[in-house]
Amino acid sequence: MFISILSWIEEQKKSKTQNQNKNSEPGSLWTRCDNCGTILYIKHLKENQCICFACGYHLQMNSRERIKNLIDIDTWRPLDETLSPCNPIDFYDQKTYTERIQNAQERTKLQDAILTGTGLLDEIPVALGVMDFSFMGGSMGSVVGEKITRLIEHAAREGYVLILICASGGARMQEGVLSLMQMAKIASALNIYQSSANLLYFSILTSPTTGGVTASFAMLGDLIFAEPNALIGFAGRRVIEQTLQEKLPENFQTSEYLLDHGLCDLIIPRSFLKQALSETILIYKDTPYKRIGKLPKNIQRPFNLLTEERIRRKYINNKNCDNEIEFLENFSFIDFSDQFSILNKFIYNSSINIFEEIDSDNFQEFEQLSTMYKEILTSLNILLNKN
C-alpha cells in the first residue's frame, strides 16, 4: 500500500499532536487540541468544559469534571466509593495486573474506571454513573460492572432517573471472561429497571465508546445522546475494513454517522447537555398514559449502619413492649440479611411499598422463620416509607 508524501507528513503531524496531548504532565499549564493542534491554556479550557476554542472539538474530560458540570452544587452523594478491583485470574504481562491497578489509582485518584452516585440535576433527583477513560482506558472490569449494577438497582428502588455517561475502550482483558460477564449482568439489571420498574434511562456516548460497553448498556438507553464527532463503535475501523474488504466512509463510527443511521437519538454539545437532560426529563414526567412499574420481590433495600440505627429508633418509638425493644437493641442486621431475602421473596410488594399475605404453597418454608423477624420486617418497612 503506497501513500503520498503529503499524506504521510499529515499523519505524522496529527499523531505527534495527539501524543503531546496524551503525554502532557499532570501539572502542566498548556495542552494541544487533538483535532486542530491549537495550543490551549488548561485553566481556560476547563472553564469551557474542555471544548477547543478554535474548532469546537470536544477533548477528553475526567469523571469529576463531568459530575461538577452536571450535578447541582452540594447535592452529589457517591455510592460504593471503596470498591476496588483485585486480580482474579493472576494476569500479568510486562507488569502484574495488580501493579497496573495501583499505578492507575495513584495517577487518577480513583478506585476504578467509574464514579457512581446520586444528586440533583436542576433540582431533579437522578442516579448518575460517569466512566473515566484515564483509568486504564475506561475498561469495564468486575468492579465497574458491579458498581453500575448496584446503581441501577438503587435507582429502581428509589424511582430515580438513570444517566450513564460512557467513555470506554471495552471489556478489561486482564479479567478475562469475568469482564465479559458484566455485559449480561448490567443488561439484566437494566431490563428490570426499564421493563419492570418502567423508569427512564439516558445513555450519553462520549469519545471513545467502543467494545463491550457499546455492545451492552451504552446502546440500551431509552434515549441515546452523543457528543459531536465522538468515536463510537465495536471493532476497530481497520479490522472492519480488512474483514469486509472494502473502504469505509470517512465519518464511519462517529456520532454523526450513527445519528444518520438511527443508532442514536440526538447529538448535543457538552455545554448544553445539562439543560437538554433536565428539559427532556420534565417532558417525560408529564407524558400521558403512564404505566406504573412493579419491581420483582427479590429487589430489596440494602442495610447500612445509618439505616440500621434509623430503624431501631423508629421501631422503639412505635413499640411499647419491653421485650421487643430489648431484642431490637441487641439485634444484628448483618446476620438478618439472609432472612430478609427469604421474607422479601414471599411477602414484599415493591410497587406499593407494603407487605402482602403469603401464598399457602410457600407457607411451610416461611413458617420456619421466626414470627419476630416477620413483625420487625413489616414494621420497619412501613416506618421507613412513612412521609
Low-confidence stretches of the chain (pLDDT < 70) are 1-27, 287-292, 297-387
What structural domains does the chain harbor? 1-58 (no CATH), 60-285 (3.90.226.10), 305-384 (no CATH)
pLDDT for 230: 94
pLDDT for 374: 53
pLDDT for 196: 86
pLDDT for 1: 43
pLDDT for 257: 94
pLDDT for 334: 46
Q: What is the pLDDT of residues 71-108, one digit of tens each?
A: 999 999 999 998 999 998 999 888 999 999 999 999 99
pLDDT for 306: 63
All three cell numbers of 84: 476496588
Predicted TM-score (pTM) of the model is 0.74
Q: Torsion angle, CA of 31/170/117/379, rounded to 10 degrees?
A: 180
For 109-149, the DSSP string reads --SSSEEEEEEEETTEEEEEEEE-TTTGGG-B-HHHHHHHH
pLDDT for 379: 57
Residue 10 vs residues 4, 36, 37, 62, 360: alpha-carbon distances, Å: 10, 12, 12, 29, 76
